[in-house]
Amino acid sequence: MLTLNREDFLEVLHEYPTIAIQLVKEMAGRLRKSDRQIASLSLSDAEKRITMCIIRFADDQGVIKNGKVVFPKLLSRKILQIWQVLQKRPFLGLSIFEKEKFLERNGRELIILDYKKFIKEFDS
């Protein structure tokens, strides 16, 4: 770990603007993540909270391939357990997302078919 005082830090940012850009990208990502967590903790309906949870899992642990997000099998199992509980309730279930072609199950894998479309639809 490197520790810099304020003056040295500003000098490094001035000399190496790519570092500044990467820092801005990282901070923007963290801000987005915090905003999503706050939204998911608010008084949103169950569907909104679940979709925000899926988006958070996708950002944190999903593997992006050709616009699709594939969840690791262990994580997929956890998500599927959540959905099994929710399917017993009339308001929501994984099948809704499968019918709308947002999510697909392939054995034990769970896949977001078009991550950009999923984000556009559910991340407000």
66-77: per-residue pLDDT in tens?
889 988 776 666
Cβ 99 vs Cβ 87: under 8 Å: no
77-110: per-residue pLDDT in tens?
676 676 666 556 554 555 667 778 888 877 777 7
Domain 45-124 listed as CATH 1.10.10.10 = yes
Q: 103 in helix, strand or coil? A: strand
Least confident of 31-35, 43-47, 48-52: 43-47
Which one has a higher pLDDT value, 21 or 47?
21
Count other C-beta atoms under 10 Å from residue 52's C-beta: 21
The region, left, alpha or beta by phi > 0 then psi within -120 to 50, assigned to residue 21 is alpha
Domain ranges of the chain: 1-42, 45-124
Q: How far is CA 54 from the centre of its chain?
A: 6
